[in-house]
Structure 1
Amino acid sequence: MKTAFLHAFLMTVDTGSMAEASRRLNITAAAVAQQIKALEGEIGVELVTRVGKTVRPTEAGYRVIERARTLLQDAANLKAIANLGEVSGELRLGSINTAVESLVPEVVAQLVIAYPDLRFHIKPALSSELFNEVQHGDLDAAVCLHPLFSLPKTLVWQQLREEKLIALAPLSLADKDPHELLRTQPFIRFDRKQWGGQQVDHYLRIANIVPRERIELSHLSAIATLVGRGVGVALVPDTVMPASITSRIVRLPLPINTRPRQLGILWQRASIHEKLINLFVNQAKILCQSSDIQ
């Protein structure tokens, strides 16, 4: 059974279209259909069926989807084992949104220049989701926040930077007390479902501040943009954001010291892709120590 047949089948069911699968696989739609037909011939059952303009798995197709994904991953792992002395292969990397906008592209850009055979699949998500996917083996590593609990011994953590909470305000309010701003100005809240948002909620409680909530968002750059537009003030981790946004806001230190959030990289101990992960970790550490990232 050729792995190309499995790729064609999975890409078709994931996109719902042989035409779209052909574009993503860079082959013709007829070739996709032929590969799926060949796979069906080997297995002995129909795996897909047309429903209107879309292609969907048959009942048998649904039963083999996850096993097909596992087989493809096993094949990729065999290639990685055979090429342990070379820097090649694909790293399945997860990342929180703020790192996707700053750190991750810088690291990836430098690594692919140095190692042309290195490939990346990058998935943005919440830290809690990334933690679960690394733990279950769906991702090789993740740039995320340290969870609010102790890590299991099966996982490895490398801290990159600490980010204290700060108040964000428009430039016109730069001389104001941050607690007074948080009490009196419209408040743009960092999503409470996120670990960083839970730290914000903790700070508001210990500071006895009941904010005038206006908006709740999960994206720090969007929060900073709204602050710069005069929509309100915010309480957020002091993370990296584009200069086009930070030039319109002021970062105000807080009078109460709290535990900063920890940004780092998480992966499974003794991962088959440990060499690639270490390359990413080392480059990320170098960048986080430079003024370009801090």
Structure 2
Amino acid sequence: MDTRQLKTLLAIVEHGSFSRAAVAVNLSVSAVSQQIQALEAEVGAQFFDRTSRPPKLTAAGLQMVEAAQELTRAADNAIDAISGRRIVGILSLGSVRTSALSLLPRAIVRLSAVHPDLRIKLRVSLSEILLQDVVAGRVDAAMVAEHGNFPPSLRWRPFLREPLFLVAPPGSPILPVEEYLARYPFVRFRANVPLAHLIDLELGRLNLPLTEVAEIDTVSAITACVANGLGVSVVPHVAIADCAAPLVQVPFGSPQLHRQIGLVERTKAPRAKLIDELHGLLVRESSPYGVEPTDQERAAVALPRGRRLE
């Protein structure tokens, strides 16, 4: 099986027709058709329903596209690692929906500037699904919060450790946390994620009667509600930084609570050096709460070849 055939198949899917794929891969339309026919003959199945215009993928074609994505990425990764050439191919990333999500696109833009031939694909999903995708190699790395259920085949490295704050509407008086919770309506972060569980545990420890005015599952929506005077809530620092309104903030927890976000990858990730560069960029984007890797972590991803990001 020729990787050029696989990349031609992926080009057809991406561009929507044999003719547009031919332009993308710098071949004639007849050469594209011959490559696909040869691949179909080798596998013993038809990938396209040619009675439709443009041809549509069959069930076998859909399976082959998924396999082609994994095979071509693995081949590119291996060649990059062995030859030390300029990094090409696709880096597939995942992320949970989090208030820290804004950090990842900024780091991706900087990584793309260093490796212009690299294509980066980002998908947002649930933590459990992303972990399965990383284990299976469908995703090279994923941004997830710290929790205690990482499979042994995965390695999680934090890049952000940020404090939590109780936030109140602009112009509110500075009060102790307990007094805010007693006097103001409370906007609860209701989601099955580590951050929400951490906040709920501390609220339970305080054991105060709350006047709950809303339950919301996104932190950005919570800060918007607080900014518009609906009540008070508890959010991580990055959410305050991303909010245009000057929210009043008071440290939450005694001692103040922190949450951690990191990158999870396979322990023997083929693109460990590239993921290490991304981790470093995320640490910088997370300043002043970025978590620098330990010497042991640096050693675990060090490779003998390739330029590191300065």
Q: Tell me if TM exceeds 0.5.
A: yes
TM-score bin (small chain): 0.7 to 0.9
Query: Letter of the aligned partner of 2:198 in structure 1?
Result: Q
Paired residues for 1:177-188 under 5 Å? 177-188=176-187
Which position in structure 1 is the counterpart of 2:282?
Answer: 284
How far did residue 193 of structure 1 move? 1.0
Within the alignment, does 1:190 sit opposite 2:196 as a pair?
Answer: no
Q: Are residues 164 and 267 of structure 1, via their aligned partners in 2, closer, same or farther at CA, if it must alter by over 3 Å?
A: same
Name the CA distance, whole Å, in 2 between partners of 1:273 and 1:160: 18
SS at match of 1:75: helix
How far did residue 85 of structure 1 move? 5.0
Q: Are residues 129 and 63 of structure 1, via their aligned partners in 2, closer, same or farther at CA, if it must alter by over 3 Å?
A: closer
Name the CA distance, whole Å, in 1 between partners of 2:56 and 2:188: 41
Name the CA distance, whole Å, in 2 between partners of 1:176 and 1:274: 47
Q: Are residues 292 and 262 of structure 1, via their aligned partners in 2, closer, same or farther at CA, if it must alter by over 3 Å?
A: closer
Which position in structure 2 is the counterpart of 1:219?
Answer: 218
Q: 2:73 touches 2:90 (CA, 8 Å); kept in 1?
A: no
How far did residue 161 of structure 1 move? 2.8
Name the CA distance, whole Å, in 2 between partners of 1:114 and 1:89: 14
How many residues end up aligned between the 2 structures? 283
Equivalent of 1:250 in 214, 227, 248: 248
Which position in structure 1 is the counterpart of 2:119?
Answer: 119
Which digits, 9 at most, give the CA deviation of each residue in 1:93-150, with x for residues without a partner?
Answer: 223443331x223322333323323332222334444333323322212232111x16
Q: Are residues 113 and 66 of structure 1, via their aligned partners in 2, closer, same or farther at CA, if it must alter by over 3 Å?
A: closer
Paired residues for 1:1-294 under 5 Å? 1=2, 2-8=5-11, 10-11=13-14, 18=16, 34=33, 39-40=39-40, 43-49=43-49, 57-61=57-61, 64-96=64-96, 97-101=98-102, 103-147=103-147, 149=148, 151-243=150-242, 245-257=243-255, 259-290=257-288
Q: CA RMSD in A?
A: 3.8
Which position in structure 2 is the counterpart of 1:15?
Answer: none
How far did residue 274 of structure 1 move? 0.9
The percent of aligned pairs where both chains have the same amino acid is 26
Name the CA distance, whole Å, in 2 between partners of 1:51 and 1:237: 55
How far did residue 7 of structure 1 move? 0.6
Query: Letter of the aligned partner of 1:281 in structure 2?
Result: H
Name the CA distance, whole Å, in 2 between partners of 1:142 and 1:59: 29
How far did residue 170 of structure 1 move? 0.3
Name the CA distance, whole Å, in 1 between partners of 2:63 and 2:111: 38
Gap regions ≥5 residues in structure 1: 13-17
How far did residue 5 of structure 1 move? 3.5
SS at match of 1:164: strand
Q: TM-score scaled by structure 2?
A: 0.72
Q: TM-score scaled by structure 1?
A: 0.76
Query: Letter of the aligned partner of 2:227 in structure 1?
Result: G
SS at match of 1:6: helix
